[in-house]
């Protein structure tokens, strides 16, 4: 049988108190719906997504993926939502029904459910809870066979005592859906067409309802408000932190590291507290990340040390570099091996050669620096004239004295030495001292300003 996945993602999520659709809310750097789609893709299944509230925004968020979007104009319940997909389903396929606001159901759980399905069997994912308030209850007969699901508002006193709850996630054949969905009614407390009512229809047709359970309850949890979102955020962050530690990283406090993307690590990586990873981050062996750093889409090679309170974005860092503390590495920065970026230094579109140093309190933008150069404290590359950007070239072994201003476009040639406090607007020749200062003078009779009343 072919495998198809139907993801219900039409709800508004009013309890989120947000202008953004519920399924687009962020969890560990990804939308809720992204998690569901990513796992469905791994099943090699064709994916249908039922959209409704903010349908265009949801479609746009996944426009590059091969997904069949189906719009549910009126939200009349889960059964009605799946009914919108029936015409799109192939004959004799297995259909897994998922929810865009239940993000953490794992691929292996989905596979386990699909294995229960054939023409005479369907699969249902259930969970045992100490307190099942709010959930539909799984009703079984004396032979322990599932006979129906009763929603909370429709359950009687005895049914409310049942602890086995419905997750909503189930797997059936497309032929079964075509047969059962048109038979659903909305004669219930909600006035909606419940997908769960197909369980009773299956039993009436002699189809066996097989149940499976997830390894962890969090896999089955839906997100309806910011409190539930925050709970799953912390849970997911701990899972991601555990994965890093199993790869060989040392996390000083796993509860105080946030991963909002993909992180890969080599051996003996050390990560201090309050570090945030965004996008794709690659850390080589023996890399040290100090406290309070934010790394976004960066690659850091072996042996490099990032001191505390640094921000790095869209940068490639070589081996055995030193950065920080309090450094900002902006997009386009490339550091060769053994380069050093000191405290309160900002770089942008800067290529910095092997062993070169920008020690402190400097801005280097739109620049190329050769090997073994030294950039003194307070140096600024003036790369912007208000309209256009220009490049500064600094050669191998060049020395730029403290508090120098380099007005681009300009070249500081190999071995050139720039005297401290210079404003350089013309190329500085190699192996020469270049100065650009006004003559110092003292003015006699000068009066110190006084505060005006």
CA dihedral 431, 436, 439, 445 (to 10 degrees): -140
C-alpha 276/C-alpha 146 separation (Å) is 46
State whether the Cα torsion 47-52-58-59 is positive or negative.
Answer: positive
- Helix 107-114 vs helix 32-41: crossing angle, to nearest 10: 50
Is the separation of the CB atoms in 97 and 4 below 8 Å? no
Is the separation of the CB atoms in 267 and 285 below 8 Å? yes
Q: Which of 243, 244, 281, 246 has the alpha carbon at shortest distance from 260? A: 281
CA distances in angstroms from 198 to 96, 125, 389, listed in the order given: 14, 14, 65
Name the token pair of 381.
Answer: 């590359």
Quote the DSSP letter at residue 273.
T
3-state secondary structure of 433: strand
Q: Which of 336, 280, 257 has the alpha carbon at shortest distance from 322? A: 336
Q: Is 360 a catalytic residue?
A: yes
Residues 6+ apart with CB under 8 A from 442: none
Of 48, 80, 338, 360, which residue is the catalytic one?
A: 360
Catalytic residues: 360
């Amino acid at each position: 049988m072919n495998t198809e996945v139907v993801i219900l993602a039409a709800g508004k999520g009013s309890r989120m108190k947000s202008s953004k659709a519920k399924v687009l809310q962020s969890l560990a750097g990804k939308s809720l719906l992204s998690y569901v789609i990513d796992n469905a893709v791994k099943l090699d299944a064709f994916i249908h997504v039922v959209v409704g509230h903010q349908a265009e925004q949801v479609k746009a968020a996944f426009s590059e993926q091969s997904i069949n979007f189906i719009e549910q104009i009126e939200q009349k319940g889960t059964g009605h939502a799946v009914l919108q997909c029936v015409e799109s389903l192939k004959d004799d396929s297995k259909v897994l029904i998922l929810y865009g606001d239940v993000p953490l159901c794992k691929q292996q759980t989905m596979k386990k459910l699909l294995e229960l399905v054939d023409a005479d069997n369907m699969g249902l994912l259930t969970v045992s809870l100490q307190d099942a308030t709010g959930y539909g209850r799984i009703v079984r007969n004396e032979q322990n066979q599932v006979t129906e699901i009763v929603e909370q508002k429709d359950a009687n006193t005895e049914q409310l005592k049942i602890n086995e709850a419905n997750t909503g996630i189930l797997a059936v054949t497309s032929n079964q859906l075509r047969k059962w969905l048109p038979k659903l009614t909305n004669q219930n407390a909600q006035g909606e067409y419940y997908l769960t009512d197909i369980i009773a229809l299956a039993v009436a047709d002699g189809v066996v309802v097989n149940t499976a359970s997830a390894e962890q309850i969090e896999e089955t949890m839906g997100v309806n408000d910011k409190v539930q979102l925050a709970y799953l955020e912390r849970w997911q962050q701990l899972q991601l932190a555990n994965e890093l530690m199993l790869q060989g990283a040392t996390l000083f406090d796993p509860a105080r590291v946030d991963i909002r993307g993909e992180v890969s690590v080599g051996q003996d990586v050390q990560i201090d507290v309050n570090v945030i990873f965004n996008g794709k981050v690659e850390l080589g062996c023996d890399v040290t990340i100090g406290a309070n750093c934010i790394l976004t889409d960066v690659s850091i090679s072996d042996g490099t040390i990032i001191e505390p309170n640094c921000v790095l974005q869209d940068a490639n860092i070589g081996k055995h570099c030193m950065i920080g503390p309090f450094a900002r590495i902006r997009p386009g920065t490339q550091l060769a091996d053994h380069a050093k970026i000191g405290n309160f230094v900002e770089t942008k579109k800067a290529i910095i050669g092997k062993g070169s140093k920008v020690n402190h309190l400097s801005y280097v933008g739109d620049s190329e620096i050769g090997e073994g150069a030294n950039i003194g404290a307070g140096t600024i590359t003036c790369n912007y004239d208000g309209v256009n950007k220009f490049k500064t070239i600094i050669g191998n072994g060049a020395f730029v004295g403290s508090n120098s201003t380099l007005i681009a476009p300009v070249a500081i040639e190999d071995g050139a030495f720039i005297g401290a406090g210079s404003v350089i607007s013309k190329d500085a020749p190699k192996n020469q001292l270049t100065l650009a200062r006004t003559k110092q003078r003292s003015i006699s009779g000068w009066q110190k300003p006084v505060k005006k009343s």
